[in-house]
Structure 1
Amino acid sequence: MVRPRERERERENLISCFRNQKWLPFFIISATFIFISLFPTISASYRITPNYTASYLHFVEDHGAFLYSQNRTFKAAIFNPGNQQTTFYLCVIHVQSHTITWSANRDAPISISGKILLSSHGLTVSDQNGNTKWSTPQLHSSVLAMMLSDFGNLMLLDQNDASLWESFHFPTDTIVMAQSLPVGTSLTSSLTESDDHLSTGNYSLSVTTSDSILQWGGSTYSKLSMDPNAHRNSNYLVEYLVLNTNGLSLFARNGSIIVLQVKLFPSDFRIAKVYSNGHFIISSFSGRDWNQDFVWPREICEIPYICGRIRLCSIVGTSNGPACSCPSGFKHEHQTNSCIPNEGSISLPLACNSSYNQSSQNFQNISYLGLGTGKYYYDIKFSDPVKYGINLSTCQDLCSKDCSCLGLFHRDSSGFCFLIHNHLGSFMSNVAGGSDLLGYIKILDAIYTADGASNHSRSPRQVSTLVALVIFPFAALLVAAGFALLWWRKRKKFLAGLEKSDHLSSPSFGEAEAFSIPGLPVRYDYETLREATGDFSTQIGSGGFGVVFKGTLRDKTVVAVKKITNLGLQGKREFCTEIAVIGNIHHANLVKLRGFCAQGTQRLLVYEYMNHGSLEKTLFGNGPVLEWQERFDIALGTARALAYLHNGCENKIIHCDVKPENILLHDHFQPKISDFGLSKLLNPEQSSHFTTMRGTRGYLAPEWLTSSAISEKTDVYSYGMVLLELVSGRKNCSPQPVQQSHSLDDDNSIGNSSSLSSNSGLVYFPMLALEMHELGRYLELADPRLEGRVTREEVEKLVCIALCCVHEEPALRPSMMTIVGMLEGRIELGHPRFESLNFLRFYGRRFSELSVIGNADQQDDFTTDQPHTSLLSASGTVHGTLSYISSQQVSGPR
């Protein structure tokens, strides 16, 4: 029963909406009425029985969806990608991400009037005239029902609910978790990544008995076993490929043996897709965005058609993709994105089945244009040459007699002769491997061509567009009306909920009951969280903004409850609004905010519980040693999370307190940054706290202690300090002895500040990292507990990135997006600027001096309420107290 005062409040809210947006209700009501009167709608089902017919027009309100999985994770729909109104497909779609995972009639789209029909014989897709465009094959039994599984598998079932046909057995370009790809089956890309067409393209992934391969036009250009992230575990014959929670695996012996595996961070939902550009990418969905977990092949110039026909692909000097150019003697034809001969009197040969058909007796019109040295073709690595031990002239004769041969490669030293058949792709440029490997393209003299036509062939493909002059504008109007109605209702419900919370917090009505808003964090009442935490009895952390307790909700979910004690006088409305923003931020490497409490003066945040605790306890504790790969994965995951906060959110978020205590570890040591939203919860009365000191000393960027502006580059500095600790396995500022070098003499020492000459043997690790970088002695920086289980190159990579992050000038520090690229190997490593790192030497000297005196703790007695002397003057000169490098914390662990 609705209380009178609540009914009156709802009435006032509605009147307010009408007053402020007079046109909106009238528009929504009118459009909805017209829509219902013209197109009677049908509700989507979980299970469909034969003699069922549907078209897009029956399900306009639900964008063509006529069937849902029981958990509503997937839907089957008559779908028009890109919201165009000419081409419609029968698709399976992941609801939350709006991603197509399977399509039936990808090469035979229907119009808006096309239909699907489920009969006892199977499923059919037909056009508006009833002509069949796609159908299931002949079945061995009658169909009793069609359903969509919770994994996205569209299934036809018989009277015993046994499967007669499954979409999983006929994949297109994508597989989902729990879907297997048996030996002999393939994924095939779309022709383009345009929003409105799903037609079959030229790239494919196939599963063989020993590997998984990528192909273009039937020719292999990469094998999964060649990727450094793929690990071979056995030599059994592969039976099928599976994408699961932990990565991609090739199985043998009925799934009992893993032959080849790509291990990835666990994810609740991920897909693997062959893209139209030739990449095979595994992506995980974090609730809002897709994250690329695995990209294959890594070297972009290995993709056969990445630059176009006969174009040269090079990655030298580029960071935003390949550099494409034409070989000498060729020019770029923009219409076909290919290279053609400069001279108009010569042309490229056509296919064997064309009017041009060579014979062994008549090839005097054939000649060859050379590509020069340093060129390579993808197919050479995976196909055998036709001959060894022959000269160039004989190799060219073999190509001239073969109408399918379009080019060749010849190596003079071995007589290697390799022919390129059927189609030409891109060539790799600037490839090492000897100057005697030369490539040639077959060309024809135009006066000898059989048809005497010009050498400029034109594309036969023409795209026809059906313009629905009446239906399209009207349908677009109805869709807009539907979206407007949903937005209006959700906004009204959210604001009404906030008003209700403020009203119910008054003594006359008692405390508010918990309520939830779809898509936003759950709102808990205080008693629920007090009960979950056992009256806040199990403390697992504390910091400057409150105390963290372990709790168990009524549904047995284990959570971490942060009881905020230092958030000022921020009101419920402002607090809830910020929670709504933070709750919509989702990433695999960010701790998920499950809910909150804003009741009376209580402010609590409910997070998912991380079972491995913090990086600080794992890295510096007495437990098992983190292996190098685990450290690298933690570094990469943390970088991805910060890059998302800086660039992937609607509003940029600066964490301001990146440190090992705030990097939590979940299953398989997956890193998740915590407290990324607390800076958004700070109100104006705390601005002085934010601008003068925010974070933890030892990780604070120099600009915190000057009048410099605070930006996302402050997080980059803190990340660099964490990276150095991951390398060494010790705190940067802890007074621990460092192992002395056995071979360092005075001639190799770097300046008077070198910690290596310190009598105390105590060292400020960032300075030591700088000195060892200058000497190229990286292995001495690695955690000695690894006992040689790491290479020099692996340590060098992280040290170089870390030093670039801790440059004194923020502008010299790379962005987190660039750091992710360097860690993944897509971007060349940066070079630390020594002139911007000299301040580390001062910190190192002061650290050593105070360590010898033995009163570092007394020197570091500092709080945010006390004034402090800047370490950096306006000119950049280092001076003052050592409080900056102290391990004493300002905000405390989270």
Structure 2
Amino acid sequence: MKLIINFSSTIFLLFTTSISAYTFSDHISPNFTASYLQFIANTGTFLLSRNKTFKAAIFNPGNQQTSFYLCIIHAASNTVIWSANHAPISDSDTVKLTVEGITIFDKNGNSKWSTPPLKSQVQKLSLTEMGNLVLLDQSNGSLWESFQHPTDTIVIGQRLSVGASLSSASSNSNLSTGNYKLTITSSDAILQWHGQTYWKISMDSKAYKNSNDDVEYMAVNTTGFYLFGHNEQVHVYQVGLSVANFRVAKLASDGQFTISSFSGTNLKQEFVGPDDGCQIPLACGRIGLCNDNSLSSSSSSTSSSSPVCSCPSNFHVASGNLHGCVPNDVSRTLPLACSSLTNNNHSQSNSSVVSFLNIGYGVKYFGNIYSDPIMFGVSLSDCQGHCSSNCSCLGILYRNSSGSCYMIENELGSISNGGEGDMLGLIKVNIGHDIDNEQNSQKDGFPVIAAVLLPIVGIIFLLALVFFLMWRKFTKSKKQEVKLGKQISISQHSSGDLDQDAFYIPGLPTRFDYEELEVATDNFKTLIGSGAFGVVYKGVLPDKTIVAVKKIINIGIQGRKDFFAEIAVIGNIHHVNLVRLKGFCAQRGHRMLVYEYMNRGSLDRNLFGGHPVLEWQERCDVALGTARGLAYLHSGCEQKIIHCDIKPENILLHDQFQAKISDFGLSKLLSPEQSGLFTTMRGTRGYLAPEWLTNSAISEKTDVYSFGMVLLELVSGRKNCSFKSRSHSIDDDHNNSSGNNGNSSNSSTTGLVYFPLYALEMHEQKSYMDLADPRLEGRVTIDEVEKLVRIALCCVHEDPSLRPNMVTVVGMLEGGTPLPQPRMESLNFLRFYGRRFSEASVIAEENEHGSVRIQQPRDSTRFVSRFSYISSQQISGPR
């Protein structure tokens, strides 16, 4: 009987599968479910375009049987042009289409990927003849398109706008996001690996520049590859190709950007960048030595040269050749950069001994073509010393003829021959001691007497060593007590000053004399910034390094302590998203800090000032960089660091709009048990978390709140709190950064617009595009705006425990962490804030014009006096 039941069940399963496995043409309707097993007879295909040019399938790239992805595929060439889920699913996991969109579920019912919330219900899912997967409403209006969310490929009819990117897959069979990115800027198309540029279309000999117009988007069509200007008639850059009906531009998993066309039965590669195979960052793995095989490749544009790989002297191939080359000496290990935020046994530490291994002369590194030396006219030892003290530095290239010092930062790629003859390469290593190997190598052939005497001698030596260490510790502690007593007595002296010889911090990069900085700044001629506690000047050091010199003023007793605390905190902290302290001056009452120079200035000047509008991708890069910097301060250091004054003025921008946090020197350095004791107010109006006003405990979640407020300003391009005419719309008087332009003679009434409340209201209405900076003029999608607004609102929850930590925020911005829904019950305080700000603005205006005064409620008066009108200079740290 049981056998009969099982047999019947099997027949029923086969019958229902054969019915449901019908491949649809053109479109499907909601309440549709598909899995690979369900459509296995059609190799996972469940939807075809009208003429069967493209297909939608649950696909296993590389014919492996474990990882499946929802893909759009060019049928004739079997080329994947788009994939939905970066995390793979199994052959039994399901893709479901409902009126709310597409969702991919695993066998446990967990969502692995889904389309974002849509403005109306889905009527059907269509696959066009161009390869665009589109969700349509009942009026055939587009709700979502795969063309607007490219992965590693674009095809004819698809555009990649300025600020958008293609990201490589990890491999041909693993479609998770890899480490290579193609980004479109207003002037170029750039390939990057871990943020390091290794190719630009503007420097490719096969690309022709036709116009000085700003680039608006990249596209391929039937005649070639183009960077278009303001319309399709303006070709800023072009690569002319033969006529083809199907053409695909792809960022491959190995980091090469290729353009291919379909001819007959195969894809023909027409363009590759870079065409020098050794210019690919990992052409030969980590520290692999790449030689361009010119015999196997000419200057053809259709293929790159074939590299021949080896290891430099002092290195050998790593086990399995998975990671390139490693040192021959097993006691030497390659360090990890501090920016990796990784606790690894081989990471650099203060106790490790740093050395360098020579990789020879005449070498070059892919990143040096697009970067300047960090120092000029210095000796090799100076170059090595700079790298030794910088945990981000993993190696150097040094040119003897000019004394130029190039640094390899954060990630190690391949090295190649063919560089300048006087260019020397050195790789930094940590030195350890392989005792086991020494013991094993010396064990054989020992005489008997050695086996007897050595343990005795060893015991005597160990006893002597213990007594010596105890004696040295005792004498050292005595000396420290004497030195500490002297410093305390000096600090209590009536003069209240410390000269440069009485103050010392181990590991601080450089201590400058006042005269040196006076010369470097041309007698403090060029002012580039100012704040309540200091002014900042531009300077040039003797080695041509441009720096920012912050001159502390009105320092006072507490200010002096803060100054020394700032040096102690940041002197040995290095992170790619933190402004680096290069040195200091503490001489004859002068207190100055010397920072790396950030050539694009502060975020507020770029976002609110008269600078060219920040594109959406640039804003996202700023947000991600700032989040990474805060995550490091909160959890990447030995002790937790809370900034307490995150605002656009304290976020500085470098090349490619790399964001770096400044002015964390006056932050409070807290241990976990101390974090609840810090209640002294510090911050700036508009970015203060509610706990400042209620005397609640201050924690790292205070920075999360301020970051959320900055994120809203990045979305809107306006200050969160600014005066505007009530007769104007929310988009009028854009860029009013001063916060008081509402008093113009043309406006009869003014109001203080509290943008966070407006953002909350638009979130409730799902009207996210009303929040976007209107200057972007459609160059941002509703999904992109919604993502940042939801993250921002989660960050500004009134209850600090509901705010995500910055590591989680980084994951949300990167896309690896799902976006939560903001908790409305913890955001209602924004309505109170908005009402109080509006009341305060009306009273301020009426008082100014001598009209009727309105008596505010007590709580409102107290709130305004403590929050709305408190000066940013009163409670802000130095800039």
TM-score by length of 2: 0.45
Larger radius of gyration: 1
